[in-house]
Amino acid sequence: MTLVCGALLLAATWRANDRTKRRLQGLDFDTLDLGTILVDPPRAGLDDATVQLLSSFKRIVYISCNPATLAANLAAIKDSHSIERFAVFDQFPYSHHVECGVYLAQRDGAGGQAGGEKQSA
């Protein structure tokens, strides 16, 4: 399951259960400036709808266990975001598995409005 932090996660959490709803009660989602999204997809990578959603966020933190699907997803958002930091973690010594962490920032003039951001008139 892809973990998405921002308005979508809050909305999904709101629907999850009554206990969670009580924690979020009174939170005005329209005033939040949610410009960062965290994704940690399965080995298959992000689906097309989520890749498209990424372009509207100012910052992306992408955790991946599959360098091949990470490369494909990064190629899909290369016009809207640039890689600011990249790290490889060998959490499973003596195996071919690695974890990657990527921090991306939106290119100037790219993308739309994310989360609770408001467009100025």
The set of catalytic residues is 65, 99
In three-state secondary structure terms, 86 is strand
C-alpha to C-alpha distances, 56 to 17, 26, 50, 108, 121, nearest whole angstrom = 28, 26, 11, 12, 18
C-alpha to C-alpha distances, 5 to 59, 90, 91, nearest whole angstrom = 11, 25, 24
* Pair 65, 99: CB distance under 8 Å: yes
What is the distance between the alpha carbons of residues 73 and 18, in angstroms, rounded to a whole number?
35
